[in-house]
Structure 1
Amino acid sequence: MTINLNKGQKIDLTKTNPSLKKAIIGLGWDTNKYSGGGDFDLDASAFLVGANGKTNNDLDFIFYNNLEHSSGAVIHTGDNRTGEGEGDDEQLIVEFSKIPKDIEKIAITVTIHDAIARAQNFGQISNAFVRVVNEETNEEILRYDLSEDFSVETALVFCEIYRNNGEWKFSATGSGFQGGLSALCKNYGLDA
Structure 2
Amino acid sequence: MTERRFNPEHTEKLDNPERRKVLPPEKLLELLEIQDNDIILDLGAGTGYFTIPAAGLTNGKVYALDVAPQMLQYLGKRVKEEKLDNVELIEGAIECIPLAGQIADHVIASFVLHEVEPLEKGLQEMSRVLKPGGTVLCIEWEKKQTEQGPPLRHRIHSNELAEAFEENGFLVEKLTYPSDQHYLIVARACAHNC
State TM-score, norm by structure 1.
0.29
**Greater helix proportion:** 2
**Greater strand proportion:** 1
State TM-score, norm by structure 2.
0.29
